[in-house]
Amino acid sequence: MMQRMEPALLRELAEMLRAGGIEDAELEAKWICEDMPDAEAARETARRRAKHEPLQYLLGAWEFYGLRIEVGQGVLIPRADTETLVEAALDRLKQTASPRIMDLCTGSGCIALALKSQMPDADVTGIEKSAEAMKFAEKNRSALGLDITLVPGDVLQAETAAAFTGLDCIVSNPPYLTADDMAHLQQEVTYEPASALDGGADGLHFYREITRLWRDALKPGGLLAFEIGCTQGADAAEILRQNDFEQIAVLRDLNGNERVVLGIHR
């Protein structure tokens, strides 16, 4: 971390970022300055950021629910929107002692770790298919000292789901972008793993499969809560309905967009 922020360096970095079309050039220049050990490293970071590499990868970490989550190429960057899913699960599990929680497609582990940080007596497991992403989840678990279980596995395989029963809650931020979204990604997002973004032609593939395959891993009265894209509320709610969930609700994020669908297993 640089001891002193040189105004001239700050201006130089901001100018590089602005020239690359980075919107919040001053703010990002400041973050880069704060984070990098010296001026040369800061310049190199700004050069790459000006080409729209994600700032989060360049800094190597990002904050999620008050936790420092390490990220890099190969893992989805935690989004503030996803805190809506964490809040929803925390709220619905308030009355449950030592809940057993499963986070499907855990990625960096941000959701599982946030839940564990707020509910120390919860038994939290994250499943992830990508070995690269799993390395970040493991690093985050040990850096934060939070005792969650991490299991490598493909949540779309019936055998993976069949190994779990009696869960109080399943949370998931699965890939949910449509084929059309995938064809028009913001430049930064193209650096992120497609396997964490691509939800099939209509974006709903993981909702259909997870709901069907994992329903019976929940105990009666157990909660299923998904993050959704802002146009997917009605469709995702319908998938839960078709699978016999009740008390289905669609919740909005702080921007007012539909962001979470949840329901209770009968």
* Biggest distance spanned by C-alpha atoms of the chain: 63
The count of other CB atoms within 10 Å of the CB of residue 161 is 24
Closest approach, Cβ 193 to ligand GLN, in A, equals 10
Q: Are 134 and 75 in contact (CB under 8 A)?
A: no
Closest approach, Cβ 133 to ligand GLN, in A, equals 12
For ligand GLN, the closer of residues 99 and 126 by Cβ is: 126
Contacts of 198 (CB under 8 A, 6+ apart): 175, 177, 182
Residue nearest to ligand GLN (CB): 176
Helix (H, G, I), strand (E, B) or coil at 177: strand
Closest approach, Cβ 203 to ligand GLN, in A, equals 8
Contact footprint for ligand GLN (CB under 6 A): 79, 173-177, 189, 197
Closest approach, Cβ 65 to ligand GLN, in A, equals 16
Closest approach, Cβ 55 to ligand GLN, in A, equals 15
Q: What is the DSSP letter of 194?
A: G
Nearest to 177 by CA among 50, 110, 79: 79
For ligand GLN, the closer of residues 16 and 170 by Cβ is: 170
- Amino acid identity for residue 251 in this structure: L
Q: What is the DSSP letter of 71?
A: -
Helix (H, G, I), strand (E, B) or coil at 80: helix
Closest approach, Cβ 95 to ligand GLN, in A, equals 29
Nearest to 133 by CA among 210, 196, 54: 196
Rounded Cα distance between 58 and 22, Å, is 14
For ligand GLN, the closer of residues 39 and 189 by Cβ is: 189
For ligand GLN, the closer of residues 42 and 130 by Cβ is: 130
